[in-house]
């Protein structure tokens, strides 16, 4: 029988529906939050087999995080323990309780969140992505050498993927955005990767180094994700290397959502892993070529279920639209400025916005970095308790990694609210300006110099 595009599409839709039903049945039995949430919206257990995705209520990030302990399906998991473990164990190779992959993110909304996968669900996504790439190595008898250039100082989605690559199939090199370019170049020139992975902006930076003659590598394939691949970035990468270039759309909530080769017009949603809806302001589906907000259902993560979850991202739907989205034309609203700093010796540099977007401290809800100038930074954050000491410690780690601790003055303010950018409706993670207005919480304004005063000795001990 001839397999047509229509028959493949019908098969995918049937598979999605089956996977959704199995997920809902499992969640009803093992997640007290979802069971209560659905019952509160008039859904009964006997209804599960007949439900379509749009019959389910939407779920916000804030609601899921507030009910984390009852949303997870394994009793060994609770938010306080997981957040404490994240803060105390930044090595992405480690597993919570020896078996759970934990990733955290602030997303473009600035709201802090954590997500948990068991080993099976984490690997299912890897197998699905491997089938899509279909880039055979030119050296089949050797392990595929993959170099990752990204934020590596915590449990972020991309570095967690890199840390979990299985040997002996893969040999990996993890390079930090906080490392000096000289160190990055030296390691890459020695490693000679077959595949290069990283944020679009970070890979474009490497391409510039290659075009300058400083970086001597010839990757056979390149994967970019995390920030938008602009035409200028793509031109630079292609000038540097004649490699196949793939663009991946993923997130902490689902590490692989869609993929395309850069030459393709649309990204194809991984429909065996996700159900993607794109809704307008009235929460109605948008048609091809129109922009709307992503609503995500992760079909393979049974540990912390993500069902009709209101995503931070806005996308343009591709040319195909059959109830749930199968292609994405463009991704909007993921651009943040880098934070200017001055490193030792007076050289101007920046902290990559993705490093800052993954800034994590337990109980931190929102954070914003305000650049007065390259030497001065104001950090404001929202939290239910005073986290000044922890925020200072975490930011100092970043500055130390960039060799900028002695050249950067920063102050900390705990505030009641951080206003979104009126032009986009989103939080600007980095603001580049000479001044700003804040709404301080009572007694929450803290200058870095306060930590050197004798009366703050207990906090200084914590920082050390």
Q: What is the pLDDT of residue 135?
A: 54
Question: What residue ranges define each of the domains in the chain, with the CATH number in brackets?
Answer: 5-123+265-332 (3.40.50.12780), 135-249 (3.40.50.980), 339-463 (3.30.300)
373-411 pLDDT per residue, tens: 888 999 999 999 999 999 999 999 899 988 898 899 999
Considering the entire predicted model, what is its pTM?
0.74
Helix (H, G, I), strand (E, B) or coil at 308: coil
Q: What's the confidence (pLDDT) of residue 449?
A: 31
pLDDT at res. 113: 87
Query: Buried (b) or exposed (e) across 6-16, using 16+ Cβ within 10 A?
Result: eeeeeebbeeb
Report d(CA 138, CA 140) in Å as an integer. Answer: 6
Query: Looking at residue 456, what is its pLDDT?
Result: 28
* Residues paired with 309 in a beta bridge: 59, 296
CA–CA gap between residue 55 and residue 41 (Å, rounded): 10
Nearest to 365 by CA among 77, 70, 88, 62: 62
Helix (H) or strand (E) holding 129: helix 119-133
Q: Are 388 and 459 in contact (CB under 8 A)?
A: yes
Question: Given this model, what pLDDT does residue 422 score?
Answer: 63
In angstroms, rounded to a whole number, what is the distance separating the alpha carbons of residues 273 and 429? 30
Contact criterion met (CB below 8 Å) for 74 and 304? no
User: 299, 463, 290: which is closest to 391 by C-alpha?
Assistant: 463
Predicted confidence at residue 138, as pLDDT, reads: 60
| pLDDT attached to residue 116 | 96
pLDDT at 454: 27
pLDDT at 85: 93
Q: Which residues of the chain carry a pLDDT beneath 50?
A: 1-8, 108, 334-335, 435-464
Length, in residues, of the chain? 464
Instruction: List Cβ neighbours of 58 (8 Å cut-off, separation of 6 or more).
Output: 283, 295, 308, 309, 310
Report yes or no: 311 and 253 within 8 Å, Cβ to Cβ: yes
């Amino acid at each position: 029988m001839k397999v047509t595009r229509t028959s493949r599409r019908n098969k995918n839709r049937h598979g999605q529906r089956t996977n959704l039903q199995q997920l809902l049945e499992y969640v009803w039995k093992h997640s007290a939050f979802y069971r209560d949430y659905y019952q509160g919206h008039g859904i009964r257990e006997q209804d599960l087999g007949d439900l379509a995705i749009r019959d389910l209520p939407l779920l916000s990030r804030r609601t899921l995080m507030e009910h984390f302990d009852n949303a997870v399906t394994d009793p060994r998991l609770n938010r306080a323990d997981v957040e404490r473990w994240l803060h105390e164990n930044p090595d992405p190779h480690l597993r919570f309780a020896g078996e759970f992959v934990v990733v955290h993110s602030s997303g473009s909304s600035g709201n802090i969140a954590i997500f948990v996968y068991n080993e099976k669900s984490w690997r299912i996504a890897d197998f699905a992505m491997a089938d899509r790439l279909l880039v055979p190595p030119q050296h089949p008898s050797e392990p595929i050498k993959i170099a990752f250039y990204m934020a590596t100082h915590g449990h972020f989605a991309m570095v967690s993927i890199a840390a979990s690559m299985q040997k002996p199939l893969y040999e990996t090199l993890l390079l930090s955005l906080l490392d000096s370019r000289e160190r990055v170049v030296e390691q890459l020139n020695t490693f000679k990767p077959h595949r290069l992975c990283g944020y679009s902006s970070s890979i474009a930076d490497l391409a510039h180094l290659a075009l300058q003659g400083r970086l001597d590598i010839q990757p056979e394939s390149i994967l970019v994700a995390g920030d938008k691949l602009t035409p200028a970035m793509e031109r630079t990468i292609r000038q540097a290397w004649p490699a196949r270039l793939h663009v991946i759309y993923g997130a902490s909530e689902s590490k692989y959502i869609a993929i395309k080769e850069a030459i393709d017009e649309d990204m194809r949603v991984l429909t065996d892993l996700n159900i993607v809806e794109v809704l307008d302001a009235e929460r109605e589906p948008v048609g091809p070529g129109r922009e709307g907000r992503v609503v995500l259902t992760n079909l393979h993560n049974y540990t912390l279920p993500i069902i009709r979850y209101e995503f931070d991202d806005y996308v343009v739907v591709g040319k195909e639209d059959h109830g749930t989205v199968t292609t994405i034309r463009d991704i909007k609203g993921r651009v943040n400025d880098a934070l200017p700093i001055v490193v030792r010796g007076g050289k101007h540099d920046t902290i990559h916005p993705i490093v800052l977007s993954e800034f994590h401290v337990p109980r931190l809800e929102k954070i914003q970095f305000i650049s007065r100038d390259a030497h001065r930074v104001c950090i404001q954050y929202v939290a239910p308790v005073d986290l000044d000491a922890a925020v200072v410690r975490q930011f100092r780690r970043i500055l130390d990694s960039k060799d900028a601790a002695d050249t950067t003055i920063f102050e900390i303010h705990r505030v009641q609210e951080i206003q979104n950018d009126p032009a986009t409706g989103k939080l600007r993670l980095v603001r580049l300006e000479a001044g700003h207005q804040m709404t301080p919480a009572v007694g929450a304004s803290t200058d870095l110099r306060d930590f050197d005063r004798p009366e703050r000795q207990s906090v200084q001990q914590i920082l050390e």
